[in-house]
Amino acid sequence: MTIRFGTSGWRAVIADEFTFAGVRSVTSAICSHFEAASSIGDLMVVGYDTRFLGEKFAEECANIISRNAFRVLLCDEPVPTPTISHVIRTKGAICGINFTASHNPPQYNGMKLSTSDGAPALPEITRNVEQIIQATGSTAAPAKHDKAGEVETFAARPGYLEDLAKKIDFEAITRAGGRYAYDPLWGTGRGYLDEILRTHGLEVETIHDWRDVLFGGRSPEPEASHLDELRQVVVSKGCVLGLATDGDSDRFGVIDSNGSFITPNQLIALLFDYLVESRKWDGGAARSVATSHLVDRVAEARGLPVYETPVGFKYIGELINENKIVIGGEESAGLSIKGHYPEKDGILACLLAAEAVAARGASLTDQLQDLYARVGKLESGRIGIRLTPELMQSLGDKLKEDPHEIGGRRVERTNRMDGVKFIFADGSWLLMRPSGTEPVVRIYAESESATDLEVLLEQGHKFLLG
């Protein structure tokens, strides 16, 4: 078995590749990697989400870490990935491991590795971990020390919620009042997002508020097609917003009061505009190569820079650490802000949406219409193509092609930062990129009209399979 880290950790199907033996092997390799840097400390944080056997995998991981003479803080309940980041930073840990497959289907589990700054581990670290695994084989290496480290059970929730309370204008949200709906999708956000809103005097209707390791029989991803029940609650109960988070609460989904789904691309641009206006912060915005250029238009209107990154929040996290940006986001519903952790945080994103509505006294739909009036409207979307053996064989060569036009559109420039992105003369664009977590090729596109967007996506499909 070959263990590979993708854009957000190692993920695999439970009982197929994701086994206790695999967990022991990866944990031992992580210990070996950090033993070489032991001068920075000896504390590691271990958490888990609500997936099948998550707590058992986490316990086994903690035991392996302890046998390698590191101290361990083992979270006492399922925890959001951003909460792990908070614990790492406040407790001075050298790394954190969260057992989660995020938004992947329920048969998956995974291990997310974060470094001492709370950010996802960079490729140079995960590559070294992979090399150690290959060198030592598929079983855990024997303990290198006679004395085991201490394993301490730790309550991570209170400190994280206290920290969030300092970063959100809850006075504005409380003053505006109203009812909110929340769908944690059976994941780790339950007892976090709804609790902090209730603590500040808001009424919250929470659905799917129990552990279901099958996540209702689908991926715990807060996309529009998975939020019909939340939409019904928002409309029937007259809610200000419907809020959702994925399995490990690093991704967000938002339903406006009229039942409309606010896409991540829209919310990132809207919150960038709001934060610059309300916080008066210096800095620009960061977005992945797959994310809408609506952010660019907001930045241009406000005279601020934009940083484009490969897909993977670790790259945006570096810019947060360097204090270069007001906000960083990905179209896949990842977001963080200046002064927060260099890790995407779906709970934070939902609370910022609530704050923007309360402070501006306008729905997100109305705020978007105002934004479009100022900077123009863009339509963006994506489709996924399952990787067949034939497509896998031809994909590499296809992505190396450098066409002068696609579907009659002249290619003005080509961006190979991550996958291949064709930017056309009219400002529309098309990106083709293999997923880092699933056997899928994703095609992203953006144009000024919804009709043209559909045409672009179809042209990308034909190009890839032609």
Is residue 306 located within the same domain as residue 329?
Answer: yes
Residues 6+ apart with CB under 8 A from 342: 85, 117, 118, 119, 313, 314, 316, 317, 318, 320, 321, 336
pLDDT at 331: 96
Is residue 315 located within the same domain as residue 442?
Answer: no
User: What whole-number distance in Å separates Cα of residue 184 and Cα of residue 175?
Assistant: 25
Is residue 20 located within the same domain as residue 39?
Answer: yes
Q: Would you say residue 400 has pLDDT above 80?
A: yes
Is residue 403 located within the same domain as residue 363?
Answer: no
Confidence band of 50 (pLDDT split at 50, 70, 90) = very high
pLDDT at 138: 53
Is residue 436 located within the same domain as residue 292?
Answer: no
Between vectors from CA 305 to CA 301 and to CA 306, what angle results, nearest 5°?
Answer: 100
Region 56-70 average pLDDT: 96
User: Last residue of some domain: 358, 375, 392?
Assistant: 375
pLDDT at 391: 80
Region 46-54 average pLDDT: 98
Q: Would you say residue 197 has pLDDT above 90?
A: yes
Instruction: Give the residue from 193, 308, 296 showing the smallest Cα distance to 253.
Output: 193
Confidence band of 38 (pLDDT split at 50, 70, 90) = low
- The two counts, helices (H) then strands (E), for the chain are 15, 21
Q: Would you say residue 103 has pLDDT above 80?
A: yes
User: What whole-number distance in Å separates Cα of residue 355 and Cα of residue 357?
Assistant: 5
- Yes or no: say if 37 and 94 are a contact pair by the CB < 8 Å rule: yes
**Residue 385 maps to a domain:** yes
Which of 34-43, 349-358, 418-427 has maximum average pLDDT? 349-358
Of 135-149, 300-314, 429-443, minimum mean pLDDT range: 135-149
pLDDT at 8: 78
**Residue 2 maps to a domain:** no
Residues 6+ apart with CB under 8 A from 210: 186, 190
Confidence band of 132 (pLDDT split at 50, 70, 90) = very high
**Residue 3 maps to a domain:** no
Measured between alpha carbons, how far is residue 403 from residues 394, 417, 423, 432, 463 in Å? 16, 17, 11, 14, 10
- Yes or no: say if 139 and 25 are a contact pair by the CB < 8 Å rule: yes
Region 241-251 average pLDDT: 98
| Beta bridge partners of residue 336, listed in sequence order | 328
Is residue 415 located within the same domain as residue 349?
Answer: no
User: Last residue of some domain: 347, 375, 403?
Assistant: 375
Instruction: Give the residue from 224, 349, 341, 330 showing the smallest Cα distance to 274.
Output: 349
Domain that holds residue 321: 167-375
Region 225-243 average pLDDT: 98
Provide the percentage of residues in the chain whose pLDDT is more than 70: 96
CATH of the domain at 396: 3.30.310.50
Confidence band of 141 (pLDDT split at 50, 70, 90) = very low
**Residue 161 maps to a domain:** no
User: Last residue of some domain: 360, 375, 390?
Assistant: 375
CATH of the domain at 339: 3.40.120.10
Confidence band of 140 (pLDDT split at 50, 70, 90) = low
Is residue 109 located within the same domain as residue 244?
Answer: no
User: What whole-number distance in Å separates Cα of residue 301 and Cα of residue 374?
Assistant: 8
Is residue 288 located within the same domain as residue 355?
Answer: yes
Is residue 129 located within the same domain as residue 244?
Answer: no
How many structural domains are present in the chain? 3
User: What whole-number distance in Å separates Cα of residue 107 and Cα of residue 269?
Assistant: 34
Helix (H) or strand (E) segment spanning residue 189: none
**Residue 4 maps to a domain:** no
Whole-model pTM: value is 0.94
Is residue 189 located within the same domain as residue 274?
Answer: yes
pLDDT at 438: 72
Region 107-122 average pLDDT: 96
pLDDT at 393: 76
**Residue 398 maps to a domain:** yes
Mind listing the pLDDT tens digit for each residue in 175-190? 999 999 999 999 999 9
pLDDT at 136: 86
Tokens of 126: 């995960």
Mind listing the pLDDT tens digit for each residue in 252-305? 999 999 999 999 999 999 999 999 999 999 999 999 999 999 999 999 999 999
Mind listing the pLDDT tens digit for each residue in 437-464? 677 899 999 999 999 999 999 999 999 8
Measured between alpha carbons, how far is residue 278 from residues 73, 345, 381 in Å? 37, 20, 29
Is residue 115 located within the same domain as residue 201?
Answer: no
Is residue 107 located within the same domain as residue 181?
Answer: no
Provide the percentage of residues in the chain whose pLDDT is more than 90: 86
Tokens of 376: 């123009």
pLDDT at 164: 97
